[in-house]
């Protein structure tokens, strides 16, 4: 086809001085170069005596929503200028759809207006939200504590199989990623230390450096961060989805406490598994240091091991384990808290998972600081 | 069956989310053996009313009486005990997705009865058979169709042989035939168990097929505008909103509807 007759076209001419005829031709389809209503608008603006617009669609081959949006905009423009539009010349289907689109006037107060708030108001609201959020968190921690007391008195109800499942998921299945991260952290620590210590010919102290830092805090912190991203997010997403599906409501109406049934096994699983993961991460970190020591610093294998054993006191190990157990509870709590607070939509579940990871990692860092200060005061 | 005995009485109930009042001044009585319909247009607070009745949301004002006990004035432990006498089927089914159908149904039994695990298995199988799902014990909720999920949810709601069964939009998302089967099942349960049944729905077919008492919530005036047998509401109630609703807006009795 030479002329490409499908091309949507728009022409206009005046029949009388106050009547404009729009001639629509070709294929008015989404994706084609649809003429803009702006052109007509300019024409309308140019003539103040225009009273009426009519249409000629004899050569219009096909149309879809693109024609409708063009017409709706045009009509709106015309209404504002008190120009009458004559729908007679339009195809019948178009007329009917236009009638349908204009049948119910836009609800004035339905459209959400983002009302401008003053700074003071915004700050105030943020503070109130923060206070509210803190109260919720405290209430949650309190409830979790009560559930724990119930567990100790042997009256808490949850399924043992759930506990073992969570232990498997958060423990054994996390080993590969914990190995990778811990070995790398060990390597990095050894590497940084080696550069400095080699200046004094004190390469052997790389073993002490890696041993103490991994076993005392870094093993637990790295395992904690991994767990927050892996398990904390998973908990939040699980509980969030259960909230969306009304599964938590279903538990509540049966008189089963979601706190005991859902939160407790997750908390216990992480409480038990985190120290084990921490021991594993410690070993892997020391292994990473060993690799650098033996292959880069030419230290003897046994020399390195003996130096580690000689300098890492057992108290370091216990402190590491304490870190890990605390982190386990914090991660489980933040994951479950965000999951239970979840709104009732898919995006809310995403937000809950994100927020669980952020809360988890922040609380890990804060807890590390607190434990470090306590250890300093106690002199261990 | 004593037909005049009230099971649930709602007095001056006002429901609100924060300062946003959803419905106010609700007053109605559900009698033993009723199939009581809570109806009204979308967003008028039907499901929220249900949440007030089953103990998930406290009223802003007013009372919910079970027999002569004021439900929301009980202390939480007592209320929880009372809630065990309810069976609830949620809109989405709300089966616990990490458990098989059998585990879903047996959980309440394990929690609240001292039955042996063999007896529990037998009861579970029976409940599943009652809703036509015999043999599906080991399926997970995600592995069965929407209609089957609703029926499984019904089986779970019946697990503890409750006196009062609540249904939130039982036939939503079901094809007409499955919806009718579910309606029949609900009637069957009422007749055979002598249970009282509360249904939130806006499906006209269900309303007329099973309901013998109802309350109509209106979103505009924020209160109930009619109550009673839905069939009688259709013939007697003059309120245009109720008429419109019950006739799918095809009522021509001179309320200005054209053609």
Say if A124 falls within a structural domain: no
Query: What pLDDT does A4 receive?
Result: 54
Residues A299, A216: one domain? yes
When pLDDT is averaged across residues B208-228 and rounded to a whole number, the result is 88
Residues in chain A: 380
Of B56, B91, B112, the CB nearest to A253: B56
B97 and A247 in contact by Cβ < 8 A?
yes
What are the pLDDT digits (tens) for B102-132?
A: 999 998 888 888 888 888 998 899 888 888 8
Spans in chain A with pLDDT lower than 70: 1-5, 15, 107-115
Q: What number is the ipTM of this complex?
A: 0.78
Q: Are residues A163 and A49 in the same domain?
A: no
Q: Determine the length of chain B.
A: 259
Return all residues near B100 (Cβ < 8 A) that are at least 6 apart: B137, B138, B139, B140
Q: Is A161 on the interface with B (CB under 8 A)?
A: no
| B259 — pLDDT class (breaks 50, 70, 90) | very low
* Secondary-structure percent of chain B, ordered helix, strand, coil, rounded to 5: 40, 25, 35
For residue A45, give the nearest of A66, A2, A74 by alpha carbon. Answer: A74
DSSP letter at B73 equals G
What is the arrangement of strands in the sheet containing B196-200, beginning at the earlier edge strand? B86-89, B164-168, B196-200, B35-40, B213-218, B223-227
Judge if A89 and A163 occupy the same domain: no
Q: Is A160 found in the same domain as A97?
A: no
Residues A34 and A99 in one domain: yes
pLDDT top residue among A329 and B240: A329
Q: Is A287 inside any structural domain?
A: yes
Measured CA angle at B156 (ends B150, B162), to 5 deg:
120
Between B84, B92, B108, which is nearest A246 by CB? B92
Contacts of B157 (CB under 8 A, 6+ apart): B87, B88, B89, B165, B166
Instruction: State the pLDDT confidence band at B193, using cuts at 50, 70 and 90.
Output: confident
Indicate whether A115 belongs to any domain: no
Asked if residue A112 is part of any domain, the answer here is: no
The CATH number for A69's domain is 3.30.750.24
Is pLDDT at B52 greater than 70 in this prediction? Answer: yes
Note whether A254 contacts B: Cβ–Cβ < 8 A. yes
Last residue of a domain, one of A62, A83, A103: A103
Q: How far apart are CA B196 and CA B51, in angstroms?
A: 17
- A118 inside domain: no
Residue B219 has which token pair? Answer: 């979103």
Does the distance separating the beta carbons of B111 and A253 come in below 8 Å? no
How far is residue B127's CA from residue A152's CA, in Å, rounded to a whole number?
Answer: 35
Contacts of A139 in chain B (CB under 8 A): none
- Inter-axis angle of helices A219-227 and A175-199, nearest 10: 140
What total of structural domains would you count in chain A?
Answer: 2
Instruction: Please tell me if residue A252 touches chain B, with a CB cutoff of 8 Å.
Output: yes
Read off the tokens for A5. 């007759």
Statement to judge: residues A196 and A328 lie in one domain: yes
A144 and A91, same structural domain?
A: no
Distance CA B184, CA B187 (A): 5
Confidence label for B81 from pLDDT (cuts 50, 70 and 90): confident
Q: How far apart are CA A250 and CA A242, in angstroms?
A: 10
Mean pLDDT of B163-180: 85
Q: Determine, for residues B97 and A242 on separate chains, whether the beta-carbon distance falls below 8 Å.
A: yes
Residue with tokens 């009273």: A51
Q: Rounded CA gap, A115 and A118, in Å?
A: 10
Pairs of CB atoms within 8 A across A/B? 51
Which residues, 6 or more positions from B83, have their beta carbon under 8 angstroms from its beta carbon?
Answer: A253, A254, A255, B54, B55
- pLDDT tens digit sequence for B30-48: 988 889 999 888 888 888 8
CA distance B91 to B78: 26
The pair of three-digit structure tokens given for residue B119, joined into one six-digit string: 């007896």
Most A-contacting residue of B94, B146, B159, B161 (CB-CB within 10 A), to test interface: B94
Beta strands per DSSP E along chain B: 6-17, 20-31, 35-40, 61-66, 69-70, 86-89, 164-168, 196-200, 213-218, 223-227
Question: Which residue is associated with the tokens 């001292």?
Answer: B114
In a shared domain, residues A224 and A173: yes
Which residues in chain B have their CB less than 8 angstroms from residue A157's CB? 111
Instruction: Report the chain A residue with the minimal C-alpha distance to residue B89.
Output: A250
Q: In what order do the strands lie in the sheet with A9-16?
A: A9-16, A19-28, A52-63, A84-86
- Domain assignment present for A297: yes
Range of the domain at A305: 136-378
Q: What is the mean pLDDT of chain B?
A: 85
Confidence (pTM) = 0.76
pLDDT for residue A354 = 95
CB contact under 8 A, B107 and A254: yes
Q: For residues A378 and A368, give the distance between their C-alpha atoms in angstroms, rounded to a whole number.
A: 15
Which residue in B130, B135, B188, B117 sits closest to B156, CA to CA? B130
pLDDT at A113: 57
Q: Write out pLDDT tens, residues B121-169.
A: 988 998 888 888 888 889 999 998 888 888 899 889 888 888 899 999 8
Partners of residue A241 in chain B, C-beta under 8 Å: 97
Chain B residue closest to A155 (CA)?
B111
Q: Are residues A94 and A70 in contact, defined by beta-carbon separation less than 8 angstroms?
A: no
pLDDT at B4 over 70: no
For residue A121, tell me if it sits in a domain: no
Which B-chain residues 37-76 have CB contacts (< 8 A) with chain A? 51, 54-56
Kindly tell me the number of DSSP H helices and DSSP E strands found in chain A.
Answer: 15, 4
Q: Give the N- to C-terminal CA distance of chain B in Å, as an integer.
A: 48
Of A80, A103, A126, which closes a domain? Answer: A103
The pLDDT value given to residue A2: 46
Angle between helices A301-311 and A264-295 in degrees, nearest 10: 130
Q: pLDDT at residue B251 above 80? A: no
| Per-residue model confidence as pLDDT tens digits over A281-324 | 999 999 999 999 999 988 999 999 999 999 999 999 999 999 99
* A116 is a domain residue: no
Q: How far is CA A234 from CA A169, A237, A333, A338, in A?
A: 10, 5, 12, 11
Give A90's DSSP letter.
S
> Strand A84-86 and strand A52-63: pairing?
parallel
Quick check: A241 contacting B, CB < 8 Å? Answer: yes
Check whether residue A253 and residue A372 sit in a common domain. Answer: yes
A81 shares its domain with A198:
no
State yes or no: pLDDT of B258 exceeds 50: no
- Can you read off the two tokens belonging to residue A180? 């990778």
Closest CA to B230 of B205, B254, B213, B250: B213
A333 and A276 in a common domain: yes
Residue-wise DSSP of B137-152:
TT--GGGS-HHHHHHH
**With contacts defined as CB-CB under 8 Å, which chain A residues touch B146?**
none
CA distance between the termini of chain A:
89
Q: Is there a contact between A222 and A324 (Cβ–Cβ < 8 Å)?
A: no
Check whether residue A149 and residue A58 sit in a common domain: no
| Residues paired with residue B21 on neighbouring β-strands, in sequence order | B16
């Amino acid at each position: 086809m030479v002329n490409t007759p499908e091309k949507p076209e728009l022409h206009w001419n005046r029949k009388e001085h106050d009547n404009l005829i729009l001639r629509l031709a070709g294929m008015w389809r989404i994706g084609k170069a649809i003429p803009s209503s702006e052109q007509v608008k300019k024409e309308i603006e140019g003539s103040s005596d225009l009273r009426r617009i009519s249409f000629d669609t004899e050569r219009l081959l096909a149309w879809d929503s693109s024609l409708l949006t063009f017409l709706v905009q045009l009509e709106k423009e015309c209404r504002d200028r008190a120009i009458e539009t004559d729908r007679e010349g339009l195809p019948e289907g178009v007329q009917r759809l236009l009638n349908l689109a204009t049948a119910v006037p836009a609800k004035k107060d339905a459209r959400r207006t983002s009302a401008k708030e003053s700074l003071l108001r915004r700050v105030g609201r943020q503070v109130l939200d923060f206070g509210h959020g803190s109260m919720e968190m405290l209430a949650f921690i309190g409830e979790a504590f009560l559930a724990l007391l119930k567990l100790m008195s042997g009256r808490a109800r949850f399924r043992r199989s759930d506990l073992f499942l969570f232990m498997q998921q958060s423990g054994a299945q996390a080993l590969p990623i914990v190995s990778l991260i811990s070995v790398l952290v060990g390597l990095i620590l050894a590497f940084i230390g080696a550069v400095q210590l080699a200046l004094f010919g004190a390469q052997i102290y790389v073993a002490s450096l890696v041993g103490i830092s991994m076993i005392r805090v870094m093993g637990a912190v790295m395992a904690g961060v991994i767990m927050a991203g892996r398990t904390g997010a998973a908990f939040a997403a699980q509980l969030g989805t259960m909230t969306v599906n009304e599964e938590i409501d279903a538990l509540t109406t049966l008189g089963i406490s979601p706190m005991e049934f859902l939160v407790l096994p997750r908390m216990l699983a992480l409480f038990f598994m985190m120290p084990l993961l921490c021991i594993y991460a410690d070993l892997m970190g020391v292994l990473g240091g060993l690799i650098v020591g033996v292959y880069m610093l030419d230290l003897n294998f046994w020399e390195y091991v003996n130096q580690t054993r000689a300098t890492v006191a057992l108290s370091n190990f216990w402190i590491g384990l304490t870190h890990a157990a605390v982190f386990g509870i914090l991660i489980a709590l933040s994951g479950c808290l965000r999951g239970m607070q979840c709104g009732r939509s898919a995006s809310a579940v995403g937000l809950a998972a994100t927020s669980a990871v952020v809360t988890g990692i922040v609380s890990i860092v804060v807890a590390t600081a607190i434990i470090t200060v306590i250890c300093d005061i106690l002199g261990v | 069956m004593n037909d005049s005995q009230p099971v649930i009485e709602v007095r001056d109930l006002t429901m609100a989310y924060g300062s946003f009042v959803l419905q106010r001044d609700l007053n109605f009585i559900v009698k033993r053996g009723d199939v009581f319909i809570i109806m009204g247009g979308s967003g008028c607070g039907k499901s929220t009313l249900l949440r007030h009745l089953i103990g998930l949301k406290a009223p802003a004002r007013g009372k919910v009486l079970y027999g002569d006990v004021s439900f929301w004035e009980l202390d939480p432990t007592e209320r929880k005990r009372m809630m065990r006498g309810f069976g609830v089927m949620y809109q989405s089914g709300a089966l616990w997705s990490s458990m098989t159908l059998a585990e879903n149904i047996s959980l309440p039994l394990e929690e609240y009865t001292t039955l042996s695990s063999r007896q529990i298995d037998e009861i579970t199988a029976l409940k599943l058979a009652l809703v036509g799902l015999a043999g599906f014990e080991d399926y997970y909720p995600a592995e069965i169709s929407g209609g089957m999920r609703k029926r499984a949810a019904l089986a779970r709601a019946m697990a503890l042989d409750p006196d009062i069964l609540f249904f939130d939009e039982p036939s939503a998302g079901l094809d007409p035939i499955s919806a009718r089967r579910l309606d029949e099942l609900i009637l069957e349960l009422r007749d055979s168990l002598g249970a009282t049944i509360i249904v939130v729905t806006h499906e006209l077919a269900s309303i007329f097929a099973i309901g013998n008492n109802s309350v109509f919530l209106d979103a505009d005036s924020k209160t109930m505008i009619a109550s009673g047998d839905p069939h009688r509401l259709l013939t007697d109630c003059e309120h245009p909103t109720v008429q419109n609703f019950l006739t799918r807006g095809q009522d021509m009795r001179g309320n200005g509807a054209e053609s």
